[in-house]
Amino acid sequence: MGMGMKFRLYRYDPESGEPPFMQDVELDIDPAGKMLLDALIAIKAQDETLALRRSCREGVCGSDAVNVNGRNRLACITPLGELKEPVEVRPLPGLPVIRDLVVDMEPFFRQYRSIKPWLVNDDPEPEVERLQSPEQRARLDGLYECILCACCTTACPSFWWNPETFVGPAGLLQAYRFIADSRDEAISARLDHLEDPYRLYRCRGILNCVDACPKGLNPAEAIGRIRTQLVKRRV
């Protein structure tokens, strides 16, 4: 033995009538080469009442975002060995908790949908692909890779206070993904739709989003570029 790792898990069962509480759990696990998700699954194998989401277990599907020792991360790519004990695992902040580590993502997805996240191009379709130079395509790097895990948006105090009206960093990153696409023809409509004291300008440059993104993306920079475009078109 001696491999015991200490965890503090946020537990909430809406059917119990009890308020949420922090549960101390000790797990016999060798952290070498393992991720936090491995530990959560091992804990669930002992106590199947623990609720969490997971799918790809390799950091590309965005299911298992949780708050770990105060930071939003994907459990499946968070190495156990680098975590300070007791490892405190909570649901993502700023969204209603359904149960344990599972939050209601709808406010997040509603903002994603609000930016009309699809390519707009009403020209007749060519028989082959639309051309795009490698340089034009490179402008989408750092934008299209978003996995909609909500680590960034739920780390943003502006989103906590204005979830109905502020698009949030993930939504704005995706808005810029289409603004930056040489094939998209709705740039001015997209900018009109964002030029609003809340939708875009609630971003106060706190930069939690940059720190939180598990894919190393930079929503703050994308937001900055949207602002620049708005300023440019005013002059």
Partner 1 sequence: MKTRRFDALIIGGGGAGLRAALQLARSDHTVAVVSKVFPTRSHTVSAQGGITAALANVDDDRWEWHMYDTVKGGDWLGDQDAIEFMCREAASAVYELEHMGLPFSRLDNGRIYQRPFGGQSKNFGGEQATRTCAAADRTGHALLHTLYQQNIKHRTQFFDEYFALDLVRDAEGYCLGVTATSIETGEPLLIEARATLLATGGAGRVFGNSSNAMINTGDGLGMVLRAGLPLQDMEFWQFHPTGIAGVGCLITEGARGEGGYLLNRHGERFMQRYAPHAQDLAGRDVVARAIAIEIAEGRGCGAQGDHVELKLDHLGEAAIAQKLPGIRELSIRFAGVDPAHAPIPVAPTAHYMMGGIPTNLHGQVVAPARFGPEEPVPGLYAVGECACVSVHGANRLGGNSLLDLVVFGRAAGRHMLEYLRDNPYPRPLPDDAAAAGLARLARWDRKGSERVAAITADLRRLMQKHCGVFRTDGVLREGLAELDALEARLAQAGLQDTSRVFNTARIEALELENLVAVARATLVSARARTESRGAHAREDFPQRDDANWLRHTLYVREGDQLDTKPVRLKPLTVESIKPKERVY
C-beta of residue 115 within 8 angstroms of C-beta of residue 190: yes
- Using CB under 8 A as the binding rule, whether residue 145 contacts partner 1 is answered as yes
Min separation Cβ 30 and partner 1, Å: 13
Site string for partner 1, 23-42 (x = CB under 8 A): ----------x---------
- Written as six digits, the tokens of 155 are 């780390």
* Residues contacting residue 166 through CB under 8 Å, at least 6 positions apart: 111, 156, 158, 159, 198, 199, 202, 203
One residue of 133, 197, 204, 235 binding partner 1 per CB under 8 A: 133
Query: How many positions of this chain bind partner 1 (CB under 8 A)?
Result: 56
- Strand 65-68 relative to strand 87-90: parallel, antiparallel, unpaired? antiparallel
Asked whether position 107 contacts partner 1 by CB under 8 A, the answer is no
Length in residues, the chain: 235
**Strands of 75-143, DSSP E:** 87-90, 97-99, 102-103
166-180 burial, b for 16+ CB within 10 Å, e for fewer? bbbbbbbbbbbbbbb
Instruction: Give whichever of 35 and 209 is closer to partner 1, judged by the CB atom.
Output: 35
**Site for partner 1 (CB under 8 A): which residue of 10, 144, 160, 201?**
144
Shortest approach of partner 1 to residue 91 CB, angstroms? 11
Residues of this chain that bind partner 1 (CB under 8 A): 13-15, 33, 44-45, 47-49, 51-63, 77, 79, 98-100, 102, 105, 109, 113, 116-119, 121, 125, 127-134, 136-137, 140, 144-145, 147-148, 178, 181, 183-184
